[in-house]
Amino acid sequence: MRMKQTGSEILLESLHREGVDVFFGLPGGVVLPLYDALYSSGVRHLLVRHEQAAAFAADGYARATGKVGVCLGTSGPGATNLITALTSAMMDSIPVVALTGQVPLHLIGKDAFQECDTIGISMPSTKRSFLVRSAADIPEIMHQAFKTAVSGRPGPVLVDLPKNVLMESGETTYLNERGMEKKECIREWTDADLERAADLVLDSRRAVFYAGGGVIASQAWDELRELAELTKIPVTTTLMGLGGFPSDHRLSLGMLGMHGSYATNQSICNCDLLIAVGARFDDRVTGRLKDFSTLSKKIHIDVDPSEINKNVRIDVALVGDARQTLRALISAIQRQTDQAPAPAARQQWLQRIESWRGEHPLTYDKYGHAMKPQYVIETLCRHAAEDAIVSVDVGQHQMWTAQFWKFRQPRTWLSSSGLGSMGYGFPAAMGAQLAFPDRQVIAFVGDGGFQMTLNDLATVAQYRVPVKIAIINNRALGMVRQWQEIFFEKRYCDIDLSYAPNFAKLADSYGIRGVRVDHRADVEDAVRDLLSDREPGLIDFWVDPAENVYPIVPPGASLAEMVVEPPRVLLEEEALDDLWAV
């Protein structure tokens, strides 16, 4: 159907037809025609206080829902402020569509006010970038943008909108289908490849599934669990894969890699078959590449062919959607169940893993007087709803949450994992909460990362977004401090964050209930109170500033060389106390 509308009206109608129920943005001169059309459109928009928060919120929305998140920035600095978050979405394969204003077409290349080469800047940070040249082109471009964002390996897409295009009137035709619903699925494996993979699984005695974010992106969690239970093969997940396999399942190994458990990393070092599903063998998982899982043959299931043999040599590659491929692999194995190894062989492997767990379990000092961050996280986990969504910033608290939170459902974990962008946790939680207003959404943030995006407390207050914020406050850039302590002879340089606002009072100033907790004995009651209502809330937990994340695989080391606990020497607690004295 053709109708005459402005470019801005066409854009909003296109978003509506793509099923967008909310988007996040900040107005500016070039996009004012769009905001004028938004005034009476009925499309929901959240005014953020920084464009980076808009893109992180869109990212959080996308991770929690599996749908495309949408954000908006004006030209020039509005567009460039989106780039960090788009890069994070690109590295983590998150479907986001970013809308950016641009100077009128006839001024592009003339160094007009707030002009920048948004297409050029965004190319390394997106799957594709579009420059719209006519209002009539908007429906088709938006369809392609949404389709591209979800097809194959998901990721962000940018649509650059010159001001004259937003203002011009014209007739257009809308498509009768959504881009999200027309995503392209890739399959490059053959039946012979599948049979080779099934044979390797059936011949193995000490196999491990290594599941990454692709399990979440392709909604393959049921297939992964079915295959693991069918074959009695344990499952480890990457930081991106948390929630793709239940943490409390008897076959769960938790997270592997730099801060994975001793038992998990030992299983990787000693397995005879490693089955990677939607994972990319990044350096935080592998440690020293030449010594990574040298005893195993390897199967790699991934939708992105460029990941095959990029870091680690693979024996069988199954390039395709993880859900479809796992379903096919289940069928292939079920046809050959008479060739499966004796249950005793797999049971012996599981018992060996249990013995490693007993040698070096994930733990911390649970009986001292200091308030440990792990205790705070465990307490929140005990009292949170089973379907609570957890968003984290980047640093020590991110790793502690990955280690000690019990993930029972997919799409309940939000983390800037590949780029590791501080400032992510709070706005991403805001985006997830807008997607699921009736679910608990908890943002674990450090006192460093929170100060990068805390201005969006105003957004939470304005729209009464009931996000719960837990600040793991160690008065420092904690992970940097840990590395300086372990690898740089305790030469602490520029990590002191004791000059910070009183976060509880800051929250109060926005009309959000804020509390500071200094003592372990007060944690339980504070957590119960935080989770007791449907209002935004903040607790500033002043945790032990000397606590470090263990285990750790030192840089340049192999997984077998991980350090499982701090050296048994006295810490310079007096020096630390002086450094972070209040």
Active site residue ranges: 51, 113-114, 163, 479
How far is the CA of 83 from the CAs of 152, 217, 393, 421, in angstroms?
A: 22, 22, 18, 12
Rg (CA), the chain: 25
Contacts of 109 (CB under 8 A, 6+ apart): none
> Contact 56/428 with Cβ under 8 angstroms?
yes
28 CA to centre of own chain: 29
Q: Is residue 254 left, alpha or beta, with left meaning phi > 0 and alpha meaning psi from -120 to 50? A: left
- Provide the b/e sequence for 384-409 (b: ≥16 CB within 10 Å): beeebbbbbbbbbbbbbbbbbbebee
Closest CA to 10 of 145, 179, 169, 131: 169
End-to-end CA distance of the chain: 67
Query: How is 408-461 classified by DSSP, letter by letter?
Result: -STT-EE---SS--TT-HHHHHHHHHHH-TTS-EEEEEEHHHHHHHGGGHHHHH
Contacts of 17 (CB under 8 A, 6+ apart): 139, 174, 175, 178
Q: State how far the alpha carbon of 411 is from the alpha carbons of 10, 113, 531, in Å.
A: 32, 41, 20
Burial of 582 (0-12, 13-18, 19+ CB in 10 A): exposed
Burial 22-50 (b: 16+ CB within 10 A, else e): bbbbbbbebbbbbbbbbeebebebbebbb
Peptide bond before residue 551 is cis, with ω within 30 degrees of 0:
yes
Q: 218 pairs with which residues across the strands?
A: none
CA–CA separation, 8 vs 11, rounded Å?
5
SS3 of 46, please? strand
